[in-house]
């Protein structure tokens, strides 16, 4: 028994005394430590004592588009943890280009008799996709919840970050820094979050800068999500003379920074860049990225609670829960340079108004 205790303690990174308290179901152990010990038991193949066996409330599918973008693992981690706390066992399904499709994953989950499914940025966000697939699941009936991407006519809870407000806040931040020639980079326009970002960009630019309709049109670039898409779109915008760029994801923002540097421009001295998501490690990029933070934890918990309510027969409101984004100001944005030199030959800089809703990090 001592050897087994030491094995479990080493796996869980706790003391043998702590393992003993957990196995004997004694108080005085933090919930996360208790869970670590129980997980170590499972990993090492030991059977849990009868008094510690918790009957699973069932399996719940979690379908995410991919894991290359760090925002999706962030959502998955919180969703899986919250499901486990409610007694459910999460089943993670990750899509890759040319791999298993969302519909194929759903069929696999149905074969495993899942109690419900959480979709993160799935086909529900694509206005070109057939949403009858979701109506068929609801008709089974199978509880489902959607994150980021509202589709009318689907009787399910939706949880979204307010993409339009996020873009308006980002534009307002750049305007406060003296920028007037501001560009937008985001994904294909068939996606609901993209449509909302474009609408927010147009509204903010019209209100704060008052460009012509043609000027607003040439300042919005739709591209592929990812670093490469951001880089290609940023090159086009920089050629049009932008000094500030608002991006639809942090990865796109990193591509925009790369494009600026390849042209011999400095970020933020020559071009300011704002990302979207505040995904992990963005505080450690060069320069640290100013970005719009999605409240991932709050959104994920709300989605799981809505799903669990549906599973337990307590219907959650079939509407969209909108969560407010937060502006996180770091080193990739700065005061804009004016086009001409100031008297004396030195670059002229405008004094900005203080940015609103900024959270330094």
350: Cβ–Cβ under 8 A, 6 or more apart, which residues? 178, 335, 336, 338
Q: Residue 200 pLDDT > 80, yes or no?
A: yes
Phi, psi of 8 (to 5 degrees): -65, -45
Question: pLDDT-derived band of residue 346, with 50, 70 and 90 as boundaries?
Answer: very low
Average of per-residue pLDDT across 213-220: 90
pLDDT at residue number 349: 38
pLDDT at residue number 1: 45
CA dihedral (134, 149, 67, 198) positive or negative: positive
- Please state which of the ranges 32-46, 214-228, 252-266, 304-318 shows the lowest mean pLDDT: 32-46
Q: Residue 95 pLDDT > 50, yes or no?
A: yes
pLDDT at residue number 57: 67
pLDDT at residue number 326: 97
Sequence-ordered strand ranges (E) for 148-234: 158-161, 182-186, 220-222
Q: Residue 288 pLDDT > 90, yes or no?
A: yes
Domains of the chain, first to last: 2-52 (1.10.260.40), 58-161+296-323 (3.40.50.2300), 164-294+326-349 (3.40.50.2300)
Give helix 250-262 / helix 227-239 axis angle, nearest 10°.
Answer: 50
Buried (b) or exposed (e) across 266-279, using 16+ Cβ within 10 A?
A: ebbebbbbbbbbbb
pTM: 0.78
- Please state which of the ranges 104-118, 196-210, 342-356 shows the lowest mean pLDDT: 342-356
Question: pLDDT-derived band of residue 331, with 50, 70 and 90 as boundaries?
Answer: very high
Q: Residue 56 pLDDT > 90, yes or no?
A: no
């Amino acid at each position: 028994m001592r050897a087994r205790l030491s094995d479990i303690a080493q796996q869980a990174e706790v003391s043998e005394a702590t393992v003993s308290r957990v196995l004997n179901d004694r108080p005085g152990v933090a919930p996360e430590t208790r869970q670590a010990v129980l997980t170590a038991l499972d990993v090492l193949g030991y059977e849990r004592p009868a008094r510690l066996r918790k009957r699973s409330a069932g399996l719940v599918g979690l379908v995410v588009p991919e894991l290359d973008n760090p925002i999706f693992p962030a959502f998955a981690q919180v969703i899986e943890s919250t499901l486990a706390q409610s007694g459910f066992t999460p089943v993670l399904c990750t899509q890759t280009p040319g791999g298993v499709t969302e519909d194929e994953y759903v069929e696999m989950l149905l074969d495993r008799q899942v109690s419900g499914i959480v979709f993160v940025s799935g086909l529900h966000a694509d206005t070109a996709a057939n949403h009858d697939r979701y109506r068929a699941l609801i008709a089974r009936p199978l509880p489902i919840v959607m994150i980021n991407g509202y589709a009318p006519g689907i009787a399910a809870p939706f949880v979204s970050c307010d993409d339009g407000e996020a873009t308006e806040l980002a534009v307002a931040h750049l305007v406060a820094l003296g920028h007037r020639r501001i560009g937008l980079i985001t994904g294909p326009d068939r996606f609901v979050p993209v449509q909302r970002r474009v609408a927010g960009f147009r509204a903010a630019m019209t209100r704060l800068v008052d460009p012509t309709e043609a000027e607003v049109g040439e300042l919005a670039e739709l591209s592929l999500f990812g670093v490469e898409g951001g880089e290609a779109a940023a090159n086009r915008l920089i050629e049009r003379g932008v000094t500030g760029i608002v991006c639809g994801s942090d990865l796109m923002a990193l591509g925009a920074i790369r494009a600026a540097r390849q042209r011999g421009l400095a970020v933020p001295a020559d071009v300011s860049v704002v990302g979207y998501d505040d995904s992990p490690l963005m505080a450690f990029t060069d320069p640290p990225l100013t970005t719009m933070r999605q409240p991932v934890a709050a959104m994920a918990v709300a989605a799981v609670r809505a799903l669990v309510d549906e599973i337990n027969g307590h219907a959650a409101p079939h509407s969209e829960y909108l969560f407010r984004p937060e502006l996180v100001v770091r080193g990739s944005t700065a005061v804009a340079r004016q086009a001409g030199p100031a008297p004396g030959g030195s670059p002229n800089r405008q004094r900005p108004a203080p940015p609103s809703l900024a959270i330094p990090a």
